[in-house]
């Protein structure tokens, strides 16, 4: 690719990332409002309508996250994971994605290594590949999912040497032409008609795998169809120990706290305040970084600062830095729509992130973890 072509692709990535980020901000307000209606309403009809709207919002979120995965700016919330347990727990979901005429077969190595992954992102990738396999077998067939440990002694063009767990999905369809195989991971490439699919499927899957430090590969299957393999790095022992300690502390965390939430979107600020109150928290709210600093200085009871990363006039990271000058050791939680993840990671170190959109249970878990962990990083 030429330098000009690379610059255009980078610019496209920035535009797509910002678009998906803004969508996630909108969905954050929609999802949390619907979640509160569903949980608080005693009317079965209202609960059904709220649940139906939530499912539609979830599909919209999936589309925006697919865009973020395509440009490599998705928010990852990685935890140690047994992939056999994850995939086994998804059997019903994958069967629905495959359709009634496709037989689903699952096999796994014994003593499969744990991996450090965002379970929702991996689940999204597996459903995506399964839907592709279904479309490749219009008259039915077989989809085999194999989980195996793999050790690469030599690096490849797309993978460093090391230990990986491989998820391979192999269908019995007619396969792809050599040209389609070569272009399958290209953005917007699809063998289907444009109105049937946006062409972000395998490119998003590759983006998810790379975001985890791995990769994805496409090859011809032994049974004639296609084989898509996701390579995910084995989790380091140090990360497993830290996660066990964090999970234990989070399970003991007291979720009743005084929280200062800061967001310059008035609708999201209002519903986040309501969501926090529904968890039993005392809540202060503001749309201004400078006002947040004043509140922190005058209210020593504040336990947690929950702040949007992209505030107008003062970034969330700058607000946290200045807040900790006033209140050393203050607990903090960043809300992010996804596209600004790189700046959050570079400027915030290991500051905890809450990905938009989120539901009340996601909010409760995030608060529990933040309150149970050290805030000095």
Handedness of CA 191, 214, 66, 90 (dihedral sign): positive
Closest of 235, 228, 264 to residue 29, by C-alpha: 264
The domain ranges of the chain are 3-70, 79-235, 239-372
pLDDT at 357 over 50: yes
pTM of this prediction? 0.57
* Bigger pLDDT: 47 vs 294: 294
> Each residue of 253-267: pLDDT tens digit?
445 689 999 998 888
Fold of 239-372: Rossmann fold (3.40.50)
- 172 within 8 A of 223, measured Cβ to Cβ: yes
Q: How high is the mean pLDDT of the chain?
A: 80
> Each residue of 97-113: pLDDT tens digit?
899 999 999 999 989 99
- 52-61, 159-168, 180-189: the lowest-pLDDT one: 180-189
- 11-15, 190-194, 271-275: the lowest-pLDDT one: 190-194
pLDDT at 349 over 80: no
pLDDT at 347 over 50: no
Fold of 79-235: Heat Shock Protein 90 (3.30.565)
C-beta pairs of 147-155 under 8 Å, 24+ apart in sequence? 147/83, 147/84, 147/87, 147/106, 147/107, 147/108, 147/109, 147/112, 148/108, 148/109, 148/112, 149/109, 149/111, 149/112, 149/113, 149/234, 150/231
What is the rounded average pLDDT of the residues 225-253? Answer: 66
How many residues are present in the chain? 377
pLDDT at 252 over 50: no
Question: What is the Cα gyration radius of the chain?
Answer: 22
Tokens found for residue 51: 């649940």
**C-alpha pair distances (Å), 354 with each of 177, 192, 233:** 42, 35, 24
> Each residue of 273-323: pLDDT tens digit?
888 888 888 999 999 999 999 999 999 999 999 999 888 888 899 999 999
């Amino acid at each position: 690719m030429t330098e000009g072509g690379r610059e255009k692709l980078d610019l496209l990535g920035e535009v797509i990332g910002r678009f998906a980020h803004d969508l996630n901000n909108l969905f954050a307000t929609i999802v949390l409002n619907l979640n509160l209606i569903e949980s608080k309403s005693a009317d079965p009809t209202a609960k059904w309508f709220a649940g139906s709207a939530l499912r539609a919002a979830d599909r919209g979120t999936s589309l925006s996250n697919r865009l973020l995965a395509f440009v490599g700016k998705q928010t990852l919330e990685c935890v140690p994971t047994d992939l056999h347990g994850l995939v086994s727990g998804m059997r019903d979901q994958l069967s629905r994605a495959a359709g009634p005429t496709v037989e689903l077969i699952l096999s796994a190595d014994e003593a499969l290594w744990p991996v450090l992954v965002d379970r929702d992102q991996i689940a999204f990738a597996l459903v995506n590949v399964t839907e592709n396999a279904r479309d490749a077998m219009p008259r039915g067939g077989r989809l085999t999912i194999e989980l195996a440990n793999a050790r690469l002694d030599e690096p490849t063009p797309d993978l460093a040497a090391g230990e990986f767990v491989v998820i391979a999905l192999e269908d019995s369809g007619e396969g792809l032409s050599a040209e389609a195989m070569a272009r399958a991971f290209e953005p917007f490439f699809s063998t289907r008609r444009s109105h049937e699919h946006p062409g972000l499927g395998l490119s998003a899957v590759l983006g998810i795998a790379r975001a985890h430090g791995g990769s994805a590969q496409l090859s011809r299957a032994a049974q004639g169809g296609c084989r898509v393999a996701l390579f995910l790095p084995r989790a380091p022992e140090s990360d497993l120990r830290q996660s066990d300690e964090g999970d234990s502390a989070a399970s003991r965390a007291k979720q009743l706290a005084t929280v200062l939430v800061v967001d310059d979107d008035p609708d999201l600020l209002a519903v986040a305040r309501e969501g926090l109150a529904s968890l039993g928290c005392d809540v202060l709210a503001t749309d201004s970084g400078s006002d947040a600093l004043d509140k922190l200085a005058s209210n020593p009871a504040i336990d947690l600062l929950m702040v949007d990363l992209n505030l107008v006039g003062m970034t969330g990271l700058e607000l946290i830095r200045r807040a900790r000058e006033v209140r050393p050791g203050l607990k903090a939680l960043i809300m992010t729509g996804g596209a600004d993840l790189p700046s959050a990671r570079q400027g915030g170190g290991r500051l905890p992130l809450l990905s938009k959109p989120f539901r009340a249970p996601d909010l409760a878990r995030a608060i529990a973890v933040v309150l149970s962990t050290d805030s000095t990083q």
